[in-house]
């Protein structure tokens, strides 16, 4: 055996081991996301996660050095999925109202799916609203990133002339967010039917205020 092939073997074994480590980390993260959707980020602990995944506590601990690090990793993973489901498909739409409508529509659909599981952004905001620290900071950063994306989409729709020139992007995003929060509250907490339709109708009411009426019937 030459030294080169030994090096190659070692390297391949190292790559396999790193890959396996990443897979384990991903599957722990999957379980952590499901657990914290149901029990809240504060319901997340290395012990509970070890039980769910059938791993040892030290096994879980090896991947996420602390409970706080685990919570932050869950927030990042949630944010990545949120972006993949809502943001990236929406920005493939042409600049303007169509893109903004796609964002709201996908946001509504996501909350609808989460009525049974819970939304980490919404429950997390209540869990951490008076608990300073890195978990709260991570959560607030992610929420602000999403709000900034909404503001930008509104500004673009205004720039291309789809929204009235006096549209205040922060005001419009605030009202959109309100509809999403009311939907989550009525559907998940009160189990009331019709909340999705009300959120959609509320958005139509907003568009009647903010959108520029088409000059002719061509749009």
- Name the site residues for its own copies (rule: CB under 8 A): 38, 40, 118, 122-123, 125-130, 140, 143-144, 170-171, 174-175, 177-182, 185-186, 188-190, 194-195, 198-199, 201-202, 205-206, 208-209
Ramachandran angles phi, psi of 192, nearest 5°: -90, 135
CB of 127 to its own copies, least distance (A): 7
Q: What is the 3-state secondary structure (H, E, C) of 32-83?
A: HHHHHHHHCHHHCCHHHHHHHHCCCHHHHHHHCCCHHHHHHHHHHHHHHHHH
**C-alpha triplet 200, 203, 205: angle, nearest 5°:** 115
Contacts of 80 (CB under 8 A, 6+ apart): none
Contacts of 100 (CB under 8 A, 6+ apart): 153, 154, 157, 162
Ramachandran angles phi, psi of 185, nearest 5°: -65, -55
CB of 207 to its own copies, least distance (A): 11
In terms of CB distance, is 59 or 118 closer to its own copies? Answer: 118
In terms of CB distance, is 126 or 215 closer to its own copies? Answer: 126
Q: How far apart are CA 53 and CA 148, in angstroms?
A: 36
In terms of CB distance, is 64 or 107 closer to its own copies? Answer: 107
In terms of CB distance, is 63 or 188 closer to its own copies? Answer: 188
Q: Which helix (H) or strand (E) holds 25?
A: helix 3-39
In terms of CB distance, is 99 or 188 closer to its own copies? Answer: 188
Q: How far apart are CA 102 and CA 152, in angstroms?
A: 14
CB of 116 to its own copies, least distance (A): 8
In terms of CB distance, is 95 or 110 closer to its own copies? Answer: 110
CB of 150 to its own copies, least distance (A): 12
164: helix, coil or strand?
A: coil
CB of 182 to its own copies, least distance (A): 4
CB of 78 to its own copies, least distance (A): 16
């Amino acid at each position: 055996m030459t030294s080169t092939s030994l090096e190659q073997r070692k390297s391949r074994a190292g790559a396999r081991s790193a890959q396996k480590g990443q897979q384990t980390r991903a599957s722990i993260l999957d379980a952590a996301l499901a657990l914290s959707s149901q029990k809240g980020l504060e319901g997340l602990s290395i012990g509970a996660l070890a039980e769910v995944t059938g791993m040892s506590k030290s096994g879980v601990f090896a991947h996420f050095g602390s409970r706080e690090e685990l919570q932050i990793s869950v927030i990042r993973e949630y944010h990545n999925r949120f972006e993949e489901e809502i943001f990236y498909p929406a920005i493939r739409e042409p600049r303007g109202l169509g893109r903004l409508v796609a964002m709201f529509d996908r946001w509504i659909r996501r909350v609808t799916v989460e009525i049974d599981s819970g939304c980490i952004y919404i429950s997390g905001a209540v869990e951490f609203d008076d608990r300073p620290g890195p978990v709260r900071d991570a959560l607030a950063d992610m929420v602000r990133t999403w709000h900034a994306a909404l503001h930008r989409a509104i500004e673009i729709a205004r720039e291309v002339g789809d929204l009235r020139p006096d549209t205040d992007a922060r005001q419009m995003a605030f009202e959109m967010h309100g509809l999403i929060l009311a939907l989550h509250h009525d559907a998940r907490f009160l189990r009331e039917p019709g909340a999705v339709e009300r959120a959609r109708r509320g958005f139509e009411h907003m568009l009647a205020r903010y959108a520029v009426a088409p000059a002719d019937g061509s749009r």
